[in-house]
Structures are given as structure tokens and as C-alpha cells.
Amino acid sequence: MATTDRKEQTGGAGAWRKRYEATPEREGELFSTISGVENEPLYSPENVDLDYERDLGWPGAYPFTRGVYPSMYRGRLWTMRQFAGFGTAEETNTRFRYLLEHGQTGLSTAFDMPTLMGYDSDHARSLGEVGREGVAIDSLADMETLFDGIPLGEVSTSMTINGPAAMLLAFYACVGEEQGVPLEQLRGTVQTDILKEYIAQKEWIFPPQPSMRLVVDMIEWCSERLPLMHPVSISGYHIREAGSNAAQELAFTLADGFAYVEACLERGLDVDAFAPRLSFFFNAHLDFFEEIAKYRAARRIWAQQMREKYGARDPRSWLMRFHTQTAGVSLTAQQPEVNLIRTAIEALAAVLGGTQSLHTNSFDEALALPTEHAVRLALRTQQVIAHETGVVNTIDPLGGSYYLEQLTNELERQACDYFERIEELGGVIPAIEQNFMQREIAEASFRYQSEVERGERVVVGVNRYEMEEEQPLEILRIDPALERKQIERVQAVRERRDAAAAETALTRLKEDAAHDDRNLMEPIMAASRAYVTMGEMCDALREVWGTWRETPVF
């Protein structure tokens, strides 16, 4: 039977709409994504503009909408990479070994707040914070302990560090040297994404310009010396956690990515020499289709801009590889076991969106750092998706869904609007200085909170299906004695080292920092080998570059 005949029989879209409108919709709830994108009741060829070859293409080929590899998970599953770190290097080393024994395939390091802010553990600002939200690393000595018994030639390690990223990468490279592993064999990712710190996570040290210089120094040095290291992981995760919506996460992350590309080009680097090593990091929130659309739109935009705007010729420069973490912000302290279900759904979205690696949050993380039991369940969630659901058998299995394709187009459109607005403000750094992204995020965050408080958005256990809380959960407690122990460690390192060598290395770092045309990675490597601490190096650079302070908006 011809299509037209069938349409005559069923009446087509017009008839469906009449029948649809005859039934009342549920009252009092929103029919929009969690980010506020209005949803039509139905998507069909009539409301999707799609040219298959242009917009989707084939996995592993431009514009990579359907995935960055030709075989995707049929060739190799994503890396299951649980973020871990607390207390001192010894405690975290034990957790690392535990995770490797339970089938984890990559390491991911969480540093404590003083480390993130560039303070040693014995700094006055570190009081009460040492080892609380991650591991405390003050010098090469701590890094040696952290990776004790873990052969760096065989693992890939991710380090969530930004302000002092150059120092932590240098410590890691020095441990590699000590283990006899050639630098060119070290694999992993350093986050290094300072722009999103000003926008969202707010763990900064220096002002934007010298910070950008340090990022470019790292990119340049890695492309020459550590070719298997991803020197930057351009992160939307924290932007989303700070309260942004999906389109803002997408737009601000990509805008940051382009800003790094432009900074490297200004340095005179060849785009194809560094672009293949740039990687990304996104959030997996609860709005299932919106998240999948976000990843697909991200790949397509990146490929188009890298090829068309920045003139990259190597296809590896076009493809966006990314890590994903489920949304911490979606976890509830109420009925915390329900978080297992949220995380599973979010993880499934990340996999259907074609992520290269994944961290699943533990269900107790709205209460404290996760226990071993909770971490194991989080890892098992990924294993169930990988081995039991069958979603890995087909590449981009949702590709071609009318709804998903329309949403992918819509997120791309919203992101492009943001690119224009940022451009009008003079680029990413001027926009940060004018609080543009910060204000947009605060608006989105407040809007969402208001929807929840009005009951238009349901959060199970929080504003519906509440109940008296059962037994309090067993939570991980950080022993307050660890802080004292870590302070003693860093002080002992300073006592023990060759004082003259440390002094010489620090002086050289300061001098090189004052000259914009000198790459700081070698002086930082030299200071690391001399057991100069991370805080001392940051202090030296603070002296030369100054610090950053934002004017907050709410």
C-alpha cells in the first residue's frame, strides 16, 4: 500500500492532533526538560529537520554525531573510572588498589581543598580541610606514596586538579621517572581547565591571563614530552553542578574549549599538534534524552568548528572524546538508597550518548564521602549496564529517534546563541570578568529550585513521597588525626631536602614566570625533583602574577 493511501486511511498528523487534544493533559506539571526546553507531545518527520549524511554521518567519521569510533562499544567498552581520594596518600593508595582489584580499569584522583587551591597542608587556610574532600598532596614525596606499588606504565590516571595542575603533573611525571617509565609512556588526563573554575567550580589561584599561559605551557610540553597524556579535560561537569542547565553546560564548555584552542594558536602551535589530545568531561543528569542529545550535539559542534573555523586537517583533531560523571547535584540526602536508581539512569544516558569513560556516584554522597560498600555498588551499576542490558551491542542505538534528533538540533541551536553572546562580550575571559556565565548559571539554578519548591518538578523523597527517615546510614568519617600527620609529613620533607637546591629551583621558577616567552614546565619539573612543595611553587607564582578574587553575583 502506498504511503499516501495509508495517510488517507489514518488521517495523518492533523487527525492525530485532533484526537490528542480531545484528551486533557495532566495538570500542574511541566512538559519540558529539566533545563526548560518545551517538549512537544510527539515528534515525527514533520518536526525534525534532518539530513542524514550532513547531520549524523557514520560512527568514527565527521561530524561524529553517532560516536567517535567506528566500532564504539563493540570494539571496547568505556573505561570505568571511579574518582577517589581522601585522607593522606596512604589511605588513597589503599582505595586505588581496592578499585583495581574489583575490576576498575583506570584511576582517578580527587585532591583535597588545600591542594586544589594551591596551599600546603600546614598553611593557615588549610586548617580543618586537609584530606577531607580528597587526598592531600604537598610534594613529590606524597605522590610517591600515592602510587606506591602501582606501575605507572600500565595504568591510566586522571587527576582532577586545575590551579596547580602543572605541579601535580610534574610530580606524577617524576614518579614515572623514578619507576623507570619513559615519559612518553605515561597515560592519563589532567583536568587543568581553569576557565570553568572562574565560571563554576571556583577553585582558582591566579588571574585568568597567567593561568591561561600555564595551561598553554602544559599543552605545549605534553605534546612534546608526554604524547599520551591529555593535558586538559575541558569540563562541563562543574558548570552543571553549579546549577546550570544542559544548554549552558554544553555552550560554556565548548566556548572554553575554543578559548584554549585560540590561546594555543596564538602561541604559534599547530592545531593538529595539540587538538587530538584535548578531551572533555560532561555531567550526566536525570533528563534522559536531553543528556544524550547534549553529548551528540557536543560532538557535532566540536567537529564542525575544529574543521571549519580552526582549520584542523587531522581527523583526530575533530573528534571529541569525553569522560562522564553522573550528577552529584541530583542526589538526595532523603531516602538515599533511591540515589542508586538515579545514578543508574544517568549512567545509561552517558553510555547511550557514547562516553569514553564513566564515573558513577555512590548513593551516600549527599551525606559524606562514599564508603567502600557504596563505591562498589556504583561500579557494579556500570558493570550491569555493560554486561547485562545489551545496550552496548549497537552503536548509537537511539540515533534517528525523531525526538532525540530534534533535541540534539535544539541544544546545538541554544549553544550557538550563547557563542554569539560570549563573542559580543569580547570572548570567554571578558565574559567571565563581566560575570556573564556566572549570572546565567545562577538564574537557571534559581529557576529550577523555584520549580521544585512550587511542586512543578517532582524530586522523589524530597517534595513527593516523603517519609520519616529510617536508620541513619553508615558514613565514611575522616579521622581528624590525619591532618596533623600530613602537616608533619610536609614539614619533614622541607627539613630533609637539600635546602640550597630547593632555593635555586624556586628562584629559577620565579624568574621564568616573569618572562611570558618561557615555558614553565621544565622549571616546575626541576623544583619537583628538588622536593619544593606545591604550595611553595604556587606562592612563588602568586608573587609574580598576583591572585584572583571574584565579585560575586546572586
Partner 1 sequence: MAGKIRVVVAKPGLDGHDRGAKIIARALRDAGMEVIYTGLHQTPEQIVETAIQEDADAVGISILSGAHMTLVPRILELLRENGVEDVVVVVGGTIPEDDADELRKLGVAGVFGPGAPTTEIVDFLKGAVAA
| Residue 368 engages partner 1 in binding (rule: CB under 8 A) | yes
Of 372, 490, 476, 521, the C-alpha closest to 136 is 490
H helix or E strand, kind and range, residue 449: helix 436-453
Q: Cell digits for 541?
A: 607564582
Do residues 15 and 21 lie in contact, with contact meaning Cβ atoms separated by under 8 Å? no
Among 65, 82, 126, 357, binds partner 1 (CB under 8 A): 126
Q: Which is nearer to partner 1, 157 or 235 (CB)?
A: 235
Residue 380 neighbours by CB under 8 Å, 6+ apart? none
| Residue 50 engages partner 1 in binding (rule: CB under 8 A) | no
Residues 85-124 close enough to bind partner 1 by CB under 8 A: 113-114, 116-117, 119
| Residue 416 engages partner 1 in binding (rule: CB under 8 A) | no
d(CA 496, CA 508): 21
Residue 468 neighbours by CB under 8 Å, 6+ apart? none
Of 273, 207, 272, 194, the C-alpha closest to 235 is 194
Q: Which is nearer to partner 1, 389 or 449 (CB)?
A: 449
Do residues 279 and 299 lie in contact, with contact meaning Cβ atoms separated by under 8 Å? no
Burial 137-150 (b: 16+ CB within 10 A, else e): bbbbbbbebbbeeb
Q: Cβ 491 to partner 1, closest distance in Å?
A: 19
Q: Which is nearer to partner 1, 339 or 528 (CB)?
A: 339
Residues 420-459 close enough to bind partner 1 by CB under 8 A: 442, 445-446, 449, 453, 459
Among 36, 93, 98, 202, binds partner 1 (CB under 8 A): 202
- Measure CA of the first residue to CA of the last residue in the chain; give whole Å: 61
d(CA 516, CA 543): 15
Q: What's the angle, vertex CA 236, arms to CA 233 and CA 237, rounded to 5?
A: 95
Q: Which is nearer to partner 1, 43 or 548 (CB)?
A: 548
Q: Which residue is listed with cell 586505588?
A: 96
Among 15, 42, 127, 499, binds partner 1 (CB under 8 A): 127
Alpha-carbon distances of 285 from 250, 282, 342, 364, 455, rounded to whole Å: 13, 9, 9, 17, 19
Q: Which is nearer to partner 1, 100 or 459 (CB)?
A: 459
Q: Which residue is listed with cell 544516558?
A: 349
Residues 468-497 close enough to bind partner 1 by CB under 8 A: 472, 475, 477-478, 480
Among 91, 120, 122, 129, binds partner 1 (CB under 8 A): 129
The count of chain residues that interact with partner 1, using the rule CB under 8 A, is 46
H helix or E strand, kind and range, residue 523: helix 521-529
Q: Which is nearer to partner 1, 150 or 459 (CB)?
A: 459
Q: Cβ 170 to partner 1, closest distance in Å?
A: 22
Binding mask 500-529 for partner 1 (x = CB under 8 A): ------------------------------
| Residue 133 engages partner 1 in binding (rule: CB under 8 A) | yes
Three-state secondary structure of 216-268: HHHHHHHHHHCCCEECCEEECHHHHHCCCCHHHHHHHHHHHHHHHHHHHHHHC
Q: Cβ 465 to partner 1, closest distance in Å?
A: 13
In this structure, the strands spanning 187-190 and 156-160 are parallel
Q: Cβ 471 to partner 1, closest distance in Å?
A: 11
Residues 323-352 close enough to bind partner 1 by CB under 8 A: 329, 331-334
Q: Which is nearer to partner 1, 33 or 445 (CB)?
A: 445
Residue 180 neighbours by CB under 8 Å, 6+ apart? none
In this structure, the strands spanning 79-80 and 233-235 are unpaired
Q: Cβ 318 to partner 1, closest distance in Å?
A: 33
Q: Within a 10 A sphere around the Cβ of 134, how many other Cβ atoms? A: 24
Q: Which is nearer to partner 1, 404 or 444 (CB)?
A: 444
In this structure, the strands spanning 229-230 and 187-190 are parallel
Q: Is residue 184 classed as helix, strand or coil in its secondary structure?
A: helix
Residue 450 neighbours by CB under 8 Å, 6+ apart? none
| Residue 534 engages partner 1 in binding (rule: CB under 8 A) | no
Among 41, 70, 75, 128, binds partner 1 (CB under 8 A): 128
Q: Cβ 243 to partner 1, closest distance in Å?
A: 4
Binding mask 215-254 for partner 1 (x = CB under 8 A): --------------------------xxx-----------
Q: Cβ 460 to partner 1, closest distance in Å?
A: 11
Q: Which is nearer to partner 1, 265 or 442 (CB)?
A: 442
Q: Which is nearer to partner 1, 298 or 367 (CB)?
A: 367
Footprint on this chain of partner 1 (rule: CB under 8 A): 113-114, 116-117, 119, 125-129, 132-133, 197, 201-203, 241-243, 329, 331-334, 366-369, 442, 445-446, 449, 453, 459, 462-463, 472, 475, 477-478, 480, 549-552, 554
